[in-house]
Structure 1
Amino acid sequence: MAEPGAVRRLRAVLVPLALAQFICSFAGSNMNVMINDISADLGTTVHGVQVAITIFLLVMAALMLPGGKLTDRFGRKRCFIAGLAVYGLGAIISAIAPNLAVLILGNSILEGVGTALLIPPVYILATVLYPDLATRARAFGAIMAMGGVGAAAGPLIGGLITSVLSWRAAFAFQALVIVAIVLLSRSITDPLPADRSRTVDVTGAVLSAVGLVLVVSGIQFASKNVWLMVGLLLAGGLTLVWFFRSVRAKERAGQEPLIPTIVFRDRASNLGLITQNAQWLVLMGTSFVTAVYLQVVRGYDAIQTGVIFTSATAGLLVSSLAAERLARRRPQRTLIMSGFVLTTAGIAVLLGLVSAYPTPWASIPGLLLIGLGLGVMLTPSVNIVQSSFPEDLQGSISGVSRSVSNLGSALGTAIAGTILIANPAGHSYAIAMITLAAIGLVGLAAATLLPRGKVAGAS
């Protein structure tokens, strides 16, 4: 049993790590309720704001792989602090942005780069500091709870700040949180020494980033030009094939690739990555579609939209904070399957009640179920992936895990936004939500293939 002093030190470390995940997830969803305000202030459109949101999520996904690798060379804490600094600068630039281009520079580019630097160390540190499955479930539960709350409560917090002050103040809020995290991070001690002899696979980093950008961009252009979409998707797919061939070639030559192929040879981890991607795709896609629907169709302002999202936030917070207790009682496979069932049912309830009743309260039961479902499965999915590999591969698998999750976030916004733009006057909102529910079922199918493992802490 750990000494009380050691327990306190681990808790002190967990606070800045969880806050870091919170603010990064918050940044991905809080702009959803600022769409009308930002559009009017910067002279752009709903699609312009959607592009900014998607670029932010895409930059995170594209750079998370090299971001995870840099932690091996320069150290977890150093990369964490550097990421916070870049993110904070981006938040300040976004707060004073005079047009959409500067907003994209601050929010989409700099905050995205900062996130790619600081998030992999969060999960590496949690994995190596909490050695057994039960305590690691508690740590991941707290981190994923804050991440989920950041994504789900982003509309509420962003709506409150936007309504009381302005959308610019929401970025100032992010900068203040970053300062607080930096101060709290003084208690973090890197348990693994940096290894300056580790090389960075620049070719692999470029190919992986370009491939991911092309794929998501292809989906983004689906509603405008089918041939452009096909061309971008094909180019992205070929680039990613080139990336994996490059990785294999470097391994055969005895060189260190961006990501060792061994991280893709574990069946449980691969299935866990699929469930992670589906979870964040559904979360961010649902958040975007619902926020746009409430503002554009129902005419609600930022704070009204944010208040409606409170039910999803409450559900996600309750189930995420129960992660350790649930992990002790149920296998992780069962929790992930249950989460997808609840989330898909929540989407069905949301569609049924919103179409039948014009009141804003009609959205609450469905959003609550979606929040509960996502909270149940976020932590076990991460735990399965991170726990499948030893400490020397934590930098690589953490980068892959976060890249896959953020790719899901980017795809969620891109797919949902594309459907809305393609048919703005028809049943596009329902179609978008049905599409997200179908993706949830794909995640459920992947979860059923996970191994039937023991519960955390079981002998």
Structure 2
Amino acid sequence: MDATDKKSALRRALIPFALAQFICSFAGSNMNVMINDISEDLNTTVAGVQLAITIFLLVMAALMIPGGKLTDRIGRKRCLTLGLLVYAAGALISAAAPGLGVLIVGNSILEGIGTAMLIPPVYILTTLLFTGVASRAKAFGAISAFGGIGAATGPLIGGFITTAISWRASFVFQAAMVLLIAVLSRRWVQDPLPPDPTRPTDPGGAVLSALGLVLVVSGILTADDNLWLMLGLLVAGAAVLVWFFASVRAKERAGRSPLLSTALFRNRASNLGMITQAAQWLMLMGTSFVVAAYLQVERGYNAIETGVVFSATTAGLLLSSFAAERFARRRAQRTLIVGGFVITVVGTVLLLTLIYASDSVWAFIPGLFVMGFGLGGMLTPSVNVVQSAFGEDLQGEISGLSRSVSNLGSALGGAIAGTILVAGLGTRPGTAYALAMGAVAVAGAIGLVAAWFLPQRTAPVPG
């Protein structure tokens, strides 16, 4: 294969990778505009829909690390295909769900498991196939941009489908997209490394890491109901995670292979980069849920009207994503991430202040646009900082850990900001909205501090 054919093959492979990240991010945000429709159809509440969304994001976060390890054992392409099929099955079950319980099984559990199986192979294969620094950065840029676009357009596309047909049709759309990706990946994706069935796994570590994350997020979700239960779950979750990390160290000392290598946590740039990733997705998903729920429950907007409002986020994100490659050649990645957080926090402040200055829906537009612009400019640099910090031997583990941290940020966005808002809906909606967006702004400030301390050597990406 000559150089031209190789470049063409890589471009084709990038299409299913980008579409896979798009649909998984889309799934995390499109339900936000269906809150009223799902609540009425399934005879549940806003809190019930919030629970389904949060469980979906949490399952992804909890299983992403084991999913990364599984790719090495059964093969990256096979893991990608299996993940896509599990996801499609979950989407079809969700489309036919007669109640909240079945919706949680299909959307939250099966789609979450499918995502945890298919996303790590996307990032590992991208790292293995795109070997040059510049080409790899561009590939990660395209995938990350499609992920951000999926999350930003989820409310718009989901709102259109829900209003024109039904909320159930949105899940049929997801199943159709996923099956298309499966066909494209089968034709265009090649795994450069053979699977290693003898590669050791760590089931005990997988259980501990998943249980710890579940307990922490569950504690946040119970904050409105029982303070002591919340504290108990948070303490239990923290204790399980400490147990997990202690077991990792013990297994490494004994010469056994743990779920994660402690080497992943010794790199300053990677650690700070993962904090910025978590903060970015917390802000995006937290804002998406809070604004969508507020518009529907308190302002009485339908799905398509709510989705149209979120087109401002989509526009901002698309604008900065398209310019991301040019930015990356001119500025250090640290600079782009710091600037992105500053812009995004400004957008949060606009959402907090302008909503009180006017009762018009247009008051949401400036803040959502600015947030989208800030997020679009820093999603890719954060991924590059983390993935490029390690060699090929650790790509499976760092890909799983990186995606787990990002999805944990998404889950925390829905859990923290969503719980604050849901607790006040119907009684003090304006105050609840302000407190929820305040929590999002705090996450942005934490991300900004982490970005500020990134090493200066995160240089511009070569052209």
Give the match for residue 428 of structure 1: 432
Q: What's the offset of the Cα at 1:423?
A: 2.6
For structure 2, which runs of at least 5 residues remain unmatched after alignment?
none
Q: What's the offset of the Cα at 1:435?
A: 1.2
Residues 168-183 of structure 1 aligned to structure 2 (within 5 Å):
168-183=168-183
- Give, as a single letter, the amino acid of the residue that structure 2 aligns with 1:450: L
- Give, as a single letter, the amino acid of the residue that structure 2 aligns with 1:441: A
**Structure 2 Cα separation of the partners of residues 130 and 333 of structure 1:** 22
User: How many pairs does the alignment contain?
Assistant: 457
1:100-126 deviations in Å (ceiling 9; x for gaps): 000000000000000000000111111
1:248-280 deviations in Å (ceiling 9; x for gaps): 111111111000100110000000000000000
Q: What's the offset of the Cα at 1:3?
A: 2.3
Residues 106-185 of structure 1 aligned to structure 2 (within 5 Å):
106-185=106-185
**Structure 2 Cα separation of the partners of residues 332 and 192 of structure 1:** 30
Give the match for residue 462 of structure 2: 457
Q: What's the offset of the Cα at 1:421?
A: 2.7
Q: Is the 8 A contact 1:134 1:324 kept in 2?
A: no
Q: Is the 8 A contact 1:141 1:322 kept in 2?
A: no
Give the match for residue 210 of structure 2: 209
Residues 352-391 of structure 1 aligned to structure 2 (within 5 Å):
352-391=353-392
Matched, 1:437 2:441: yes
**Structure 2 Cα separation of the partners of residues 428 and 139 of structure 1:** 40
Query: Pairwise CA RMSD of aligned residues?
Result: 1.0
**Structure 1 Cα separation of the partners of residues 159 and 379 of structure 2:** 25
Q: Is the 8 A contact 1:138 1:323 kept in 2?
A: no
Q: What's the offset of the Cα at 1:317?
A: 1.6
Q: What's the offset of the Cα at 1:422?
A: 2.8
**Structure 1 Cα separation of the partners of residues 149 and 423 of structure 2:** 30
1:285-308 deviations in Å (ceiling 9; x for gaps): 000000011111111110000001
Give the match for residue 332 of structure 1: 333
Q: Is the 8 A contact 1:129 1:191 kept in 2?
A: yes
**Structure 1 Cα separation of the partners of residues 126 and 320 of structure 2:** 20
Give the match for residue 284 of structure 1: 285
Q: What's the offset of the Cα at 1:283?
A: 0.5
Q: What's the offset of the Cα at 1:434?
A: 1.2
**Structure 1 Cα separation of the partners of residues 305 and 412 of structure 2:** 26
SS of equivalent to 2:456: coil
Give the match for residue 199 of structure 2: 198
Single out whichever of 360-369 and 334-343 deviates more from structure 2.
Answer: 360-369
Give the match for residue 95 of structure 2: 95
SS of equivalent to 2:144: helix
Q: Is the 8 A contact 2:65 2:400 kept in 1?
A: yes
Q: TM (normalized to structure 1)? A: 0.98
- Give, as a single letter, the amino acid of the residue that structure 2 aligns with 1:190: D
**Structure 2 Cα separation of the partners of residues 99 and 205 of structure 1:** 30
Give the match for residue 408 of structure 1: 409
Matched, 1:50 2:47: no
1:52-88 deviations in Å (ceiling 9; x for gaps): 0000000000000100010111111111000000000
1:391-448 deviations in Å (ceiling 9; x for gaps): 0100000010000000000000000121113333220101110111111011000001
Q: What's the offset of the Cα at 1:325?
A: 1.7
**Structure 1 Cα separation of the partners of residues 189 and 355 of structure 2:** 46
Q: Is the 8 A contact 1:134 1:327 kept in 2?
A: no
- Give, as a single letter, the amino acid of the residue that structure 1 aligns with 2:445: L
**Structure 2 Cα separation of the partners of residues 141 and 363 of structure 1:** 28
**Structure 1 Cα separation of the partners of residues 310 and 74 of structure 2:** 39
**Structure 1 Cα separation of the partners of residues 72 and 394 of structure 2:** 9
Q: What's the offset of the Cα at 1:141?
A: 1.3
Give the match for residue 61 of structure 2: 61
Q: What's the offset of the Cα at 1:133?
A: 2.6
Q: Is the 8 A contact 2:83 2:113 kept in 1?
A: yes
Single out whichever of 261-270 and 418-427 deviates more from structure 2.
Answer: 418-427
Q: Is the 8 A contact 2:37 2:167 kept in 1?
A: yes
SS of equivalent to 1:125: helix
- Give, as a single letter, the amino acid of the residue that structure 2 aligns with 1:444: L
**Structure 1 Cα separation of the partners of residues 370 and 123 of structure 2:** 27
Single out whichever of 96-105 and 413-422 deviates more from structure 2.
Answer: 413-422
Q: What's the offset of the Cα at 1:318?
A: 1.9
Q: What's the offset of the Cα at 1:27?
A: 0.5
- Give, as a single letter, the amino acid of the residue that structure 2 aligns with 1:428: A
1:25-74 deviations in Å (ceiling 9; x for gaps): 01100000000000000000000000000000000000001000101111
Matched, 1:261 2:265: no
Matched, 1:448 2:452: yes
Q: Is the 8 A contact 1:137 1:327 kept in 2?
A: no
Runs of 4+ in 1 over 3 A off after TM superposition: none
Give the match for residue 12 of structure 2: 12
Q: What's the offset of the Cα at 1:220?
A: 0.4
Q: What's the offset of the Cα at 1:324?
A: 2.0
Q: Is the 8 A contact 1:67 1:117 kept in 2?
A: yes
- Give, as a single letter, the amino acid of the residue that structure 2 aligns with 1:209: A
- Give, as a single letter, the amino acid of the residue that structure 2 aligns with 1:406: N
Single out whichever of 79-88 and 349-358 deviates more from structure 2.
Answer: 349-358
1:225-268 deviations in Å (ceiling 9; x for gaps): 00000000000000001101111111111111000100110000
**Structure 2 Cα separation of the partners of residues 381 and 209 of structure 1:** 24
1:162-182 deviations in Å (ceiling 9; x for gaps): 000000000000000011101
Q: Is the 8 A contact 1:32 1:287 kept in 2?
A: yes
